[in-house]
Structures are given as C-alpha cells and as structure tokens.
Amino acid sequence: MEEYFKRYNEWLNNPIFDENTRQELESIKDNEKEIEDRFYKELEFGTAGLRGVIGAGLNRMNKYTVGRATQGLANFILKQGTQNKGVAIAYDSRHKSKEFSEQTALCLNANGIKTYIFESLRPVPELSFTVRELKCTAGIMITASHNPPEYNGYKVYWDDGAQIVPPQDKQIIEEVNSTEFSQIKMMSKEEAVNKGLYIQIGKEIDDKFIETLKSLVLNKEVIKQVQDEMKIVYTPLHGAGNIPVQRVLKELGFTHVYVVPEQEMPNGDFPTVSYPNPEDKNAFKLALELAEKVDADIVLATDPDSDRLGVYSKDGNGKYVSYTGNMSALLIAEYELSQRKEKGILPPNGALITTIVSSDMAKAIANEYGLKVYETLTGFKWIGEKIRQFEENNSYSYQFGFEESYGCLISPHARDKDGISAVMALCEASAYYKTKGITLWEQMLNIYKKYGFYREGQISIVLKGADGAAQIKSKMDIIRSNPPKKLAEFEVLEVRDYQNHTIVKSNGEKLETDLPTSNVLYYDLSDNAWCCVRPSGTEPKIKFYMGVKGTNMEDAEQKLSELTEAMKKVVE
C-alpha cells in the first residue's frame, strides 16, 4: 500500500480527528489522485509559516495542521521564556481566517501564553506594527496573501515585527516537526478570557497605526491645494485594506476617493476576480471602468492582506496604463527621498534595501541621494532583518525598501510590505506633482530620463501537486548543472548559486556568495542586464526574473523581449 493511503486511513480511523474531518475524507475514498494530493506530504511549515489549500488532510490548511504549527510555536516561546510578552494575532478576509485565528489564540492560551487578537480583519502592516507597539514576543497573520480563494496561510513574525528569519525560523520548524497532533493543547475561550490570556484589541491600535502613517506625510499642504480636483479610485479586492485606506486618505484631506462598490466588502470567494492579486491586470477591470466614469487621476488596488499595491494612471493620451511593482516603488522612492533631501531630513548614513530580483534603478536612485544600497534574497523578511541589524549596530538609517512583487515600506514603523502607507505615499506624490503641473505618468517618464531606461520582466511555470514538485526540482537541477554562456545577445559574466554559495565568473574565477542559503540561480549579464531563476516559496511555480537597461524605452523593451525568449528556451 502506498504511504499516502496509510496516512489517509490513519486520519479516517484515528479518534483525534473529528466527525466532520472523517466525513470529508470519506467523500474522496474513490478518488486516488485527490487522496494522494492531500497525503503525499505534510503541509510544510516553511521559513514563512504555512500556506496551502483549505481542507482535511496532512497537506492541507485545517484546524489540525494549524494547531500543530501553533503548538510548535508555543513550545519554542516557552523555551525562550518570553510567554508573558504575548503574541499578536490578525487575519484577513479568507475562508476560515477568523476560525484559524481564534484556534491559534486558544492553543497559545492553553500553553499559558497571552494573546492580543483583533476583533475583525486587519492588514499585514498593522499586525507588524502591533507586534512592535505592544512589545510582543511574536505575531501571527492568518492569510494566503494574493493566492486563489481555496488557499489560506499562517505567517509568523518575531518581536521586531518582521517575519521569522534564521535562527528562529529553523528552531521553530524543528519544534513544529517534532509535535504530534495528539499534543495540541486547547482551552475554552471563556476560561482564556477569565485568566486574562485572551485579550481582544482593535480601535486603540487602529488609531495609533493611522496616526503613525499620517506623521510620515512630507507635504500636507499639497493635498489641500488639489483636494477638490484630484480623483482616486481604490479597490481592496474584497480584502482587509478597505477601512484603513479610506480612513487615512479621508483624514489627510483627499475628498474624491471612489471605492469600487462590488469589491468593497470582505469576501473570501473573491467573486469579482479570478485571482485577487494587484499584479494581475484582470483584477483591475471594475476599478478601471469606475475610473473612466469618474475621470480618475490614479487607480489603486491592494491584495487581501493589503501588503501589495497595484497602480494605474493616465498616460499622455488619456489612456490608463499599468505600473509594475518596480515602477510604483521607484516612483515612491524618488518622491520620498527627493523631498526628504529638499527638507534637509535625509540623514548622512541613510540606506536603501532592495532584493536581487528587483530593478537595478534602485542603485542609481540610492547613488543620487547618497544612500548605501543593500541587496537581499527575495522576500520582505530579509529586508526586515536588515532594518533590525541597522538598529542593533547603530550603523545605517533605513530610508526605503522594496521588492519587485508590488511591495514597499516607506519607514520602519512596520517590518513587512505596507500597502496602506504605499497608497498614502502614492496619493501624496500624485498631489505634489499635480501642483507642479505634471501627471504621475509624466513623472515616471522623468525618472527614466534621469536614471536610465531600466525594464524588468517575469515569467512563471506552474507545476502543481507531487508530480509538479518533482518537475520543479528536476528543472532547477538541470539549469544548475548546465549554466548558459550566453542568453540572447548577452554574455553571462558570472553565475551566482545561492544554494551552493558559489560565484563563478566567466574567466573561471570562483568566489563565495554573502547571502543565506536559498535555491536561487542569478546570472549577471553584459550590457547592464541580469536574470534569475528560483522556485516560488508560496506557490507551485518556478519563477524567472529578467532586467535590462536600454538607451530609450523602445530599446529597453526590445532587449527585455529577447532576454525573456532566451530564458524560456533554458527550461524547454
């Protein structure tokens, strides 16, 4: 009998698992492929936590896999002796988010760990802010970010408000992996409340979070100057951004904010989109229809947990055009840094943090404003780790950080991507440029003219299930063992392998990488180009990133197209 059938039968017959779970599993008894997918592996508690399809089974998000993760985290916290500092818990609009958050709290409470739990959905950046504000030992966000509706997830944050990184991540993973389902402790909500372990939070933290964001605005007066003429369309894509975004924009004085009515209310089915992701142009369909109707200056969307921001604005012909995550982040960076410099508040030891797959224009902008540049691996947790190191070493002053996947952070008030402050900063920037007689798109073009025509692209290959996981591993092995010498017209100058910690230059010289171990291959190419390959950490995908620099926009687009086609051939 296959191993996955043994696991399936154990779940069917073990009294630990409740009747609802058994009934769900009984319903698939004749579907071998489904049984295999649910039981061929355990839902892995990775370096960011859990993420998976909701349902009964080992490889699913359910109260048992969530309970096991929480019990493992509780064991770790108890060994650290920091249980009295408490854990903050928030959740977004996904199915089972509220139930998983409550279960998480009561499991921690049963282990004697105090929890601060929001009474309704909140965005990721507010959870990160809350961990810092309440001086918690950890934070947990129940979310699957921008994944399809059938997914949910469980992200763990440490006491600095950033997602867990080494050594905590590995130590927590060890605790989770050594925990049995039978060891999950639970407590009734009534008992937890009576013992002062279950503490509900909300308005007071909301007020502090919004006030903190408002204090970051650099030019409040420009908002008043254009408040009667500037029009903003916003969609929370049925997620957690709706209330905080509307509130902060209103309190800053933006009077014409139009929220897409069909997408305003939280809904875990995400009924108006196939994929609640602001990176996906299809997610903007209703927002763009509303923008045409009201003649909006800018069109904005945040994902369900509101850490990502997608942007459209009008070009010179009055047509709405999309911004990549790199473009919107660089636009915000240029505005924030130029204004801080103008006001004399840009420190001499400032730093900008980006990732190895984000636009190289970041380095040009940092150079313009005298900032030190740090590159990290993909994932905002590495940016959060750098901020903590700056503070511990009293070395650099964090000024801006971003990654190409539509996320940035304009100040260290939080330690994860913050779509709420990004909305605020972009609206402020748009107002500022409007007072100067230029649109946001014209400013984007000005940035290209100032720094160079950098263009970036990405392609993904989706490979689901057990077979897909094997194919992803196989493709990475093949690419790793056969490094290209040339991609399109670009010479490969060096190959960086972050899994094996090697840098091999075209002349044969070998060096060591200086970033943590990760299954990532990076190619530094001639003519200011680059590309990178890695499996996604949160989805069944292998991802390819490319970047070029052209003499003008057409030249950059042509180079990007050629490099993209060359990368596709690498995996055929």
What number of other Cβ atoms are within 10 A of residue 298's Cβ?
Answer: 25
pLDDT value, residue 326: 98
Asked if residue 167 has a cis previous peptide bond (ω within 30° of 0), the answer is: yes
pLDDT value, residue 539: 75
Instruction: Give tens-digit pLDDT for 319-330.
Output: 999 999 999 999
pLDDT value, residue 469: 82
- Tell me how far apart the alpha carbons of residues 271 and 237 are, in angstroms, rounded to a whole number: 9
**Beta partners for residue 192, in sequence order:** none
Kindly indicate whether the domain formed by 210-451 is annotated with CATH number 3.90.79.10: no
CATH number of 41-201: 3.40.120.10
Kindly indicate whether the domain formed by 453-570 is annotated with CATH number 3.20.20.70: no
145 classed as catalytic? yes
Tokens of 320: 């709405």
Residue with tokens 């003499």: 551
- Tell me how far apart the alpha carbons of residues 408 and 541 are, in angstroms, rounded to a whole number: 23
pLDDT value, residue 175: 97
What number of other Cβ atoms are within 10 A of residue 7's Cβ?
Answer: 19
Q: What are the residue ranges in the chain where pLDDT is below 50?
A: none
Domains 41-201 and 210-451 share a fold: yes
pTM (whole model) above 0.75: yes
Instruction: Give tens-digit pLDDT for 379-417.
Output: 999 999 999 999 999 999 999 999 999 999 999 999 999
* Contact residues for 502 (Cβ-Cβ < 8 A; gap 6+): 495, 496, 510, 511, 512, 513
Instruction: Give tens-digit pLDDT for 223-279.
Output: 999 999 999 999 999 999 999 999 999 999 999 999 999 999 999 999 999 889 999
pLDDT value, residue 46: 79
Domain boundaries, the chain: 41-201, 210-451, 453-570
pLDDT value, residue 486: 94
Instruction: Give tens-digit pLDDT for 474-517.
Output: 889 989 998 999 999 999 999 999 999 999 999 999 999 999 99
From the candidates 145, 358, 421, 430, give the one annotated as an active-site residue: 145
